[in-house]
């Protein structure tokens, strides 16, 4: 049962890999983008990449990238799905797997499992709001404020 507009992780056949040494890395807190994110770029690659907290193990990913030095970094991303933040023209791509020096930091399966868990939580929260709203509506219908002493005023 899915009441919320949840985003699904793309299938692997839609993903491309990019490999290079780390050009920059920056961890951005939730106050600007709505969720924590690690932004990074690879030398010789035009694209900017974002690893979202929704994908899980954000601190592990940030630490691995900070310590990458001149080791090779490989990412999986969907080239058909460029993103940009609100009021920002810069384009970035969501990372769906990451390895440093040919050692997996977050596999595609790890990220997919984290996204599915996040989406299930969203479904429960959305369902709870709908049920709670229904009970408020029923309560308002059967117990209008005009039936309360002093018309609901103190």
pLDDT of residue 19: 96
Q: Dihedral sign, CA of 6, 9, 15, 21?
A: positive
Strand partners, 39: 26, 50
Segments of the chain with pLDDT less than 50: 1-6, 33
The 10 Å Cβ neighbour count of residue 119 is: 16
Confirm if 10 and 78 have CB atoms less than 8 A apart.
Answer: yes
Q: Is the pTM of this model over 0.75?
A: no
Rounded-to-integer distance, Cα 98 and Cα 93, Å: 13
Confirm if 113 and 78 have CB atoms less than 8 A apart.
Answer: no
pLDDT of residue 86: 72
Rounded-to-integer distance, Cα 96 and Cα 111, Å: 6
Confirm if 105 and 60 have CB atoms less than 8 A apart.
Answer: yes
Domain 14-111 in CATH: superfamily? Nucleic acid-binding proteins (2.40.50.140)
Rounded-to-integer distance, Cα 67 and Cα 38, Å: 14
pLDDT of residue 90: 82
Confirm if 105 and 61 have CB atoms less than 8 A apart.
Answer: yes
pLDDT of residue 4: 39
């Amino acid at each position: 049962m899915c009441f919320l507009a949840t985003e699904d992780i793309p299938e692997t056949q839609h993903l491309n890999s990019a490999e290079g040494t780390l050009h920059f890395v920056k961890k951005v807190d939730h106050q600007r983008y709505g969720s924590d994110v690690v932004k990074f770029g690879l030398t010789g690659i035009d694209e900017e990449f974002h690893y979202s907290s929704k994908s899980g193990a954000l601190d592990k990913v940030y630490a691995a990238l900070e310590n990458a030095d001149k080791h090779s970094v490989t990412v999986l991303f969907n080239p058909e799905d460029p993103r940009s933040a609100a009021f920002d023209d810069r384009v970035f791509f969501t990372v769906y797997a990451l390895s440093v020096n040919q050692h997996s930091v977050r596999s595609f399966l790890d990220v997919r499992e984290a996204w599915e868990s996040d989406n299930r939580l969203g479904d429960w929260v959305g369902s709870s709001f709908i049920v709670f709203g229904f009970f408020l509506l029923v309560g308002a219908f059967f117990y209008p404020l005009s039936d309360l002493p002093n018309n609901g005023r103190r």
